[in-house]
Structure 1
Amino acid sequence: DIGGGSTEFIIGMGMQTLERESLQAGCIASTRRFFPGGKLSKKRWKDALAEIGREFQPFASKYRALGWQEALGSSGTHKAISEICATMKLSKGAITAEALPQLRDELLKAKKIDDIQLPGLSSDRRPIIAGGILVLEAAFQALGLQKLLVSKAAMREGILYDIVGRAGENDLRDESVAALSQRYGIDTVQADRVQETALSLLEQVQERWRLDADDARMLGWAARLHELGLMIAHSGYHVHGSYVLEHSDIAGFSRQEQQMLAALVRSHRRSVTKTAFDALPERLLLTARRLAALLRLAVLLNRAHEDDPLPALELTADDNRLSLIVPQAFIDARPLLRADLIGETDGIAGLGIQFRPFVA
């Protein structure tokens, strides 16, 4: 996908992404970078091709080793180049390794970008087509492409597909969370325990705290990823996990959703810092703090990593108060958990919530 400032490369199978890379070279940026003043020449083109080719080196060999069965180009740039190839009778619409050099030579007959006259090229694409063809030729060379089919769909359709998926069973965010779990070696059994407990607690207070299905999904993802930072270091792992979640490219998640996820993971243990929720807008702060309180309790209740299910717990909530009732026999057999629950009154207080544990 050749954009204005960057080009994205993805290898996938079905709904699964196998490899993703982003090259900081797009049709607009490359036109401005390599052809200042709008001047074209074979020497400038050759130098630019070599420069972009070097930027492929960190991932080209890995991509070629993995391989693919079909190559697709998505974006207005590919559609424009495809139209030119078809009009010049170089192909029937596909972009090929044989057609690109002929197209480039035809383009370089012009000495200035404003003078480019390529058959089938629209006037609005003329100012940026040189950079697009340059990036595509570099991609063909670096990746050993022979033929590129052009997708009729692009970002707009991708966004619509994402929206439809969120309403059904194909939410890309679920796949991303699963991929992160695998990549960072998260204990999925423990993640399941914490998620189940967290959602059970949420169900008991959702009406009083005005939490909805989207909040439940966010809490579930945070529960599944709360131990992500253990792969980096045990000390301060909640801080490490939060940083990874905030600054990674996580498919399907908006920037704001990643910030929410990072804030929940950052606040699931130890003291809550004053800046933990600074990245979130005012309208999400109350929900974020309430979800963090539920996650803290879920993690604490499953800290022993016991296989036996938890007994029935009773959680009640008011505006800024939270009360938990735990069965007497269960808590008597776990003095460390009793101490943790009592100590958690200070931890949850950092969220602006008064927490009181009771024994039934």
Structure 2
Amino acid sequence: MFRLICDGEAVTRSALVRRTGMARSTLALRIDALLAHDLVYETATTASTGGRPPSRLAFNQQAGTILVADLGPSHARFVANDLAGTRLAESVDELPISAGSEVVLPRVQRGFEALLVALGQPPQRVRGIGIGVPGAVDFACGVPVAPASMPGWESSIPDWFAERYDAPVIVDNDVNLMAFGEHRAYWRVLEHMLYVKVGSDIGCGIVAGGRIYRGTHGAAGDIGHIRISGHDEALCSCGNVGCLQAVASGRALARALSAQGLAARDAHDVVAHVRAGEPLAMQAVRDAGRHLGEGLAGAVNFFNPSAIVIGGDMADAHQQFIAGLREVIFQRSLPLATTNLQIAPSRIGDSAVAFGAATMVIDRILAPDSIDRAIGADAVSA
């Protein structure tokens, strides 16, 4: 019933009775419970001609606040949204995740508090929290799984916030949240999609059957450690050699360009050189796209996605990068696997993690079983 109201498919009592088959008395109790919890509101549609005025029911997207933290290797983005995912406030903090959870989580809490103060809202208004981190996560309990970039993050992040907010907390790998947000915003009609983040590191979010696929322990999509032929000299942070991440990531490209005398500290510098028309950088980025294509060709044959979306810092140089990527994927993948395959840059950009996290949290707290728990005994039928 609540979903019918939210989607605008049935917004009057009579329409809800017809769509749900509920008795009017049962329907009235459930609507009263939703009204009491501010999840819906009621407005008159026309002037009354006698008796109870006709009215329409609508989802109250201002009935609570969703807090989101996008924790990157060196920064944190904090966002407050309403229950429809509309952004209400945002801030950015220079915050290295390598400082460990004992340092980072209190800073996240202060970032959340600042957003609530700016909005004039108390902590009790928080309905859910979403947090993205740059490493594998045991999604069921919200614990990072020994990511190299996150030393000192062995405890449950949801448990830490449970002491401060009476709200569910979702923690996931940042690229999964990017994939979820991009799919929901622009590719919802597709069942199967790969979202590849190419920044300092390389990772992949997998959408299978319209849902995020994480694997048994949350490690699905860690394509950065696929071995690329002919690069045995490239030492990866994982201890192996020839990993895609050690050859084609923004960090690897910056290192290679610096060795050729072109100043580049990170992926942003690489992209800046590409935009300036620097031939060395343009060739390096196209070659990186080819290397990624080598790693993804097997995934295309195995998974047969409808689309591959490229996000992360290197997406800003997508013309050269995607040209190299397409060249190798269509050369090495089976024709049937590439029929109608779309390869495109991310359209959400820097907001992908925050949008994906907010949307994932909203889906959870507005799911039918969550609504039933929220309104509790008030919804008991006559």
* Same fold by TM-score greater than 0.5: no
Comparing both chains, which one has the higher relative contact order based on Cα–Cα distances under 8 Å and sequence gaps of 6 or more? 2
Higher strand share: 2
Higher helix share: 1
TM-score by length of 2: 0.26
**Highest CA radius of gyration, 1 or 2?**
1
TM-score by length of 1: 0.28
